[in-house]
Amino acid sequence: MTWHLTEDVEEFRRVADGYLARDPARSTALLTMSEMVRRHGPQAYGEAGPARFGWWRDGGGAVEGAFVQTQPRRPLLGPMPENLARSLARELRAVGPGLSGVRAADGAAKAFADEWTGGGDWRVDVRLRLRLFRLGELTPQEPAPSGRARQAGADDIAHAAAWMKSFVADIGDPSDADHDYTENAARRIADGLLYLWEETDGRPVSMAAHSPLIAGQSRVASVYTPAGLRGRGYAGAITAAVSRAALDAGAEHVLLFTDLANPTSNALYQRLGYRPVADYLDVEFT
């Protein structure tokens, strides 16, 4: 009755796939991150160190909790009761004290943070409050803005990379500060997953991507419109287009995470047909 840690993604997926399949929506990030490591190697998210995986089960019983950590990001916890989140904090502290925070559903995040920081000179800062949404019936906005959606191509890599960097800066996620945005953009474009909304003159004005199809679902991400072009309907149009692309690719469920500090985007996604699933916290230890 303990946590098992590994850097072997195949071992993790072999043991934890049943657990991940029980609630694939709440396990979406663990699925996509482990699949990225499967496809592109242990340093798919950067050169800071190999990815780390873990699971908990009672003897030979079913897996009841799991996590993924891609350096230098915080560990991301899958669905689990609070007592397992606490025991994971103790396990990771025993392995090494260098942990900057955690990202998990509200209850598990708070339990992990309490255990990690209890009795020490620590402060817990909530950096992001996130909400996971799942698409019901897609309802594109009417009227649509001028222009059209198109799949990004090789000529768009530099543009998309710059926008990805701006997107991360906007949401205030320091874990991606040293990320190779050019490689990320090139990979998404090569896989046919990144789309642009372009105006009638051919200017790209907004961007969004969706993840590869895993466990019957795909997740919309990196929805970005430059500040000077916002308020014109571009973000809603490209989000609807990418959501449709994910459905056309065979997704039974389309998901996305939003920053709860941004009421505009949260309202927009709900108008497009997205419905709340669960809330998450991104917590930093200082």
Q: Return the H-helix or E-strand segment holding 187.
A: helix 181-190
Distance CA 156, CA 138 (A): 27
By the 10 Å C-beta count (0-12 exposed, 13-18 middle, 19+ buried), 254 is classed as buried
pLDDT of residue 174: 53
The set of long-range contacts for 30-35, using a CB threshold of 8 Å and a minimum separation of 24, is 30/66, 30/67, 30/68, 30/76, 30/78, 31/214, 31/215, 32/211, 32/212, 32/214, 32/219, 33/68, 33/70, 33/76, 34/9, 34/68, 35/212, 35/214
pLDDT of residue 162: 95
Helices 263-271 and 234-248 meet at what angle, rounded to 10? 50
pLDDT tens readout for residues 74-110: 999 999 999 999 999 999 988 876 788 999 999 999 9
Q: What secondary structure letter does DSSP report for 186?
A: H
pLDDT of residue 171: 75
pLDDT tens readout for residues 151-180: 999 999 999 999 999 998 887 765 554 468
pLDDT tens readout for residues 44-63: 666 567 889 999 998 778 99
pTM metric for this prediction: 0.91
Is residue 194 predicted with pLDDT exceeding 90? yes
Is-contact 90 65, C-beta < 8 A? no
164 φ, ψ to 5°?
-60, -40
Mean pLDDT value across residues 246-257: 97
Mean pLDDT, rounded, of the chain: 91
Alpha-carbon Rg for the chain in angstroms: 19
